[in-house]
Structure 1
Amino acid sequence: MVTNEPTDDWKANVGKVSLTARQTEIREAFIARRGYWADDWQLILELDPEFLARYTEVSAYAGEHATAVADGGLDRKSRELIYVALCAQLTHPHPPGILGHGRNAIAAGATPQEVLAVMELVSTLGVAGLHLAVRELEADAPGTVAGLAAQDGTTDAEVATLSEQFRSVYGAWDDEVEDVLRAAAGFYRTVIDLSEIPRHSGVLDPKLVALITFATDAFVTHRDEAALRRDIRAAKAAGVSPRELLDVVIQTCGAGIHAVTVGAPLLAQLMAEPAPDPA
């Protein structure tokens, strides 16, 4: 029976051909440089091996050209945890990536607690909508923030306390944040309390927290410029260099390949379906 729902049947349609010497070379190079192989690469290898060869260059670049670990660069575990964060965030939910990179991270020494903490770290990304809304409401009608604070009975002392808590948890500050805290003090207190857990529990290294947060806000599906500016200040305070920040962003650019790795299994399923009836 033909179905429009994605299935795992596509797996039966790959790996049936004998690889050429060039395809074998490309596969071995990918494994050597990226450290793993997955089923979703196989169909690409079979149908368009040179595309996969070029993608290997893109995806391996950050790891191969980064600062050496001994000089403060990222090890494989950290890189895989960053991939987990990008695949788990709400602007780019990619379960195969969580599974594959989570597996790679654990193989590289990550604990389940670390993997979970990474996902917790990006779980509050939705608050970016509140920042955007407050900014635009105030721009549309100056004084809106003050009016909202008055309606809620929010005092300057409460805002000052929240501001200090924000700085402590996130490691950075800008004036936009004060408007958000003033407009929605009660709700934002819950967000800060939640955000504190993965950032200050000690499960993740503070430097890795800064890199993941920066990578998430710079990521092509999110691009939160105001948060990114705060991230840069927080990262510098955590001892992260501009080169390391750029290195992490280069790492995130490879996520565009998910257009192919998500689509290829569906293409394989289409290839397995019976030819449509001309009538």
Structure 2
Amino acid sequence: MSFTPEQQKLKDRFDAELGAAAFDDAWSRLLTHSPEMFAASLRLTAVPKKTGHLTPKIQALVSLAVSAASTHLHVPNIHRHTRAALAAGASKAEIVETLCLTSTLGIHASTTGVPLLCEVLEERGESFPKGMQGMSAQQVALKQDFEAKRGYWNSLWEEMLRLAPDFFDAYTEFSSVPWTTSGEGGEKGVLEPKVKELIYCAFDTAATHMYQPGLKLHMRNVLNYGGTAGEIMEVLELATLLSISTLDVGLLVLDQELSKG
């Protein structure tokens, strides 16, 4: 595709800041339809690349988590960020583990709904014990199993454990795969714990989800694993780039509709 001299300057700037390999059809459409928005989007995208608290590989995996989350499932960006992760040296196992971590988002149907169910029961005069009070030996064992596999405990799990221990047990197994599967060196999983927690932060903070209880919990876990505020901030910046998906999809539809005329 040929560009005007001004558009070509912006394309050259893109190549210098993000790399020529990152320029695809979506960026080309944006440059053609709105050079001004292209320039602004390029600047926004380049900021985390320049600060570089996270490696290019981890940045790509974080961006993949945002795109592949069940609340977004933006297939063009899943391709884009998978390609970028592979180019940055990510292994197949690291990409699969990122997707496994991201697939846990659905549990928030329960972590949001269970507290509300308990409130409704209490409003109806049905008493509901707090904490681990009165839990069975089996339920206490399930709590200990979760702590051993996931490395933390939070009181938000207690009501679910009380109401649906079998479901809680099944979810522990589901969510623990990236934490318990042995890697080549005998470590649990292929991504370090801090990176796993950053991936949770990515899809919790994304505008398609914005699950504050989980975001705060996983931010705390990142710091407990030796992460930094700068690394967390970079995840928030990368998740903000979800906004550009509007242009990726909308301008493609615009071109398709214009071609019908």
The TM-score normalised by the length of structure 1 is 0.83
Deviations 1:119-171 (A, max 9, x none): 1111121111011111001112224756xxxxxxx952222222222223333
Q: Identify the match of residue 204 of structure 1 among 186, 191, 200.
A: 191
2:136 — aligned with what? 156
The Cα shift of 1:63 comes to 1.9
1:217 — aligned with what? 204
CA distance in 2, matches of 1:231, 1:198: 15
Matches within 5 A, 1:56-71: 56-66=42-52
Q: RMSD across aligned C-alpha pairs, in angstroms?
A: 1.9
Q: Identify the match of residue 41 of structure 1 among 27, 35, 46.
A: 27
Matches within 5 A, 1:63-102: 63-66=49-52, 73-102=53-82
Matched position secondary structure for 1:124? helix
Matched position secondary structure for 2:3? coil
CA distance in 2, matches of 1:115, 1:238: 21
Q: Percent identity?
A: 29
Judge conservation of contact 1:91–1:222 (CA < 8 Å) in 2: yes
1:253 — aligned with what? 240
Structure 2: 5+ residue stretches without partners:
182-188
Matches within 5 A, 1:112-151: 112-142=92-122, 143=126
Deviations 1:92-134 (A, max 9, x none): 1111111111011101111112111111111121111011111
1:30 — aligned with what? 14
CA distance in 1, matches of 2:223, 2:102: 20
2:87 partner letter: A
Judge conservation of contact 2:206–2:242 (CA < 8 Å) in 1: no
Structure 1: 5+ residue stretches without partners:
1-14, 67-72, 147-153, 275-279
1:6 — aligned with what? none
The Cα shift of 1:260 comes to 0.6
The Cα shift of 1:174 comes to 2.3
Matched position secondary structure for 2:103? coil
CA distance in 2, matches of 1:175, 1:121: 21
Deviations 1:212-257 (A, max 9, x none): 0111111111111111222122212211112211121111101111
2:4 — aligned with what? 20
Judge conservation of contact 1:85–1:216 (CA < 8 Å) in 2: yes
- Residues 144 and 193 of structure 1: is their aligned pair in 2 closer, same or farther, counting only changes over 3 Å? farther
Please identify the structure whose Cα radius of gyration is greater.
1
CA distance in 1, matches of 2:222, 2:138: 27
| Aligned structure 1 segments of 4 or more residues deviating by more than 4 angstroms | 143-146
The TM-score normalised by the length of structure 2 is 0.88
The Cα shift of 1:83 comes to 1.0
